[in-house]
Amino acid sequence: MTISLETKIPMLHNFHSYLYQPAWRYTESQEKYKQVLEDFPTISLEFRNLAKVYRDVIVDVCQKMGAGMAEFLQKKVDSLQDWDKYCHYVVGLASIGLSHLFCVLELEDPVIGENTELANSMGIFIEKTIIIRDYLEDQLAGREFWPREVWSRYAKKLSDLARPENTDMAVQCLNELITNALHHVPDVLTYLSRLKNQSVFNFCAIPQVMAVATLAACYNNKQVFRGVVKIRKGQAVTLMMNATNIKAVKGIMYQYVQEIYRKVPSSDPSANKTQQIIVSIRTMCLPNGTAVSRNHYFPICLSCAMLLAGLSWQYLRAV
């Protein structure tokens, strides 16, 4: 971290106001995203050109997100409640804001923006997946986002999970966190089932199926503590091409939670909870008790939302 807390915390609290300050920029960061701060006048200019109804949504999200980030600069993620709260600040708020924008643009019915709990789960599911997958990368960078409430049952220090002699306990901890993340999938399916606009659906669905595929790759996988676990590029392209309607998404979700189900060790402490949430997800995916096919024709024209969702995947898979 190249910006001191004395500078960063007030900046986060005030960041939403910088959108209305044409000349504001920050040039003292050495982080890889420093260009965003250095060229901020370009961003803020585009923001000020938006209609007020859009600006109000963006400012509200930025203000709440800045306050949340400032809070977690001064505390660690200790409890599962903290974990939910942190993920809410990082991505949940953005998902809520986007849902409001979908309604303001009259792309979706008002219920999409009104049910913030479902929108929040959409974001939390993605962020928990990223945090779970990026254990080793975060450890090497001196960051810790796994909740102490969970990992402290398996190790004295979070970094101890990467030690070869702790592999069994590390994988059990990993499985418990993945089980926790899977509890957001029913909300994800409910949210997606209410969408009507094709571009909005593509934009929202693709990161979700990427996330469940990533969790399936990570589940019971000791490689999470030794290197990088990613889904294959070809697999990612297939998911992007297929996730264009709710029937297809349910088929994809069913496929990957079933993959997890087959890998659940009978000796795993979270085995029963993992199996229970997977049964619930399968029930949502198969309301008539018959398999949901993932075979369907891919639209000839990719929507703008498909491109944006692809960019979301770039974030999910990390640079």
Contact 192, 170 (CB under 8 A): no
Q: How far is CA 298 from CA 136, 241, 301, 302, 304, in A?
A: 36, 6, 9, 9, 15
Q: Of 100, 93, 95, 98, give the one whose Cα is nearest residue 114.
A: 100
Helix axes 271-285, 246-263, angle to 10 degrees: 160
**What is the helix, strand, coil percentage profile of the chain, to 5?**
70, 0, 30
Amino acid of residue 23 = A
CA–CA distance, 134 with 248 (Å, rounded to integer)? 28
Q: Of 202, 204, 192, 209, give the one whose Cα is nearest residue 256.
A: 209
CA–CA distance, 306 with 231 (Å, rounded to integer)? 19
Contact 176, 80 (CB under 8 A): no
- Burial class from Cβ neighbours inside 10 Å (0-12, 13-18, 19+) for residue 286 reads middle
- Burial class from Cβ neighbours inside 10 Å (0-12, 13-18, 19+) for residue 51 reads exposed
The residues carrying an active-site annotation are 86, 133, 143, 203
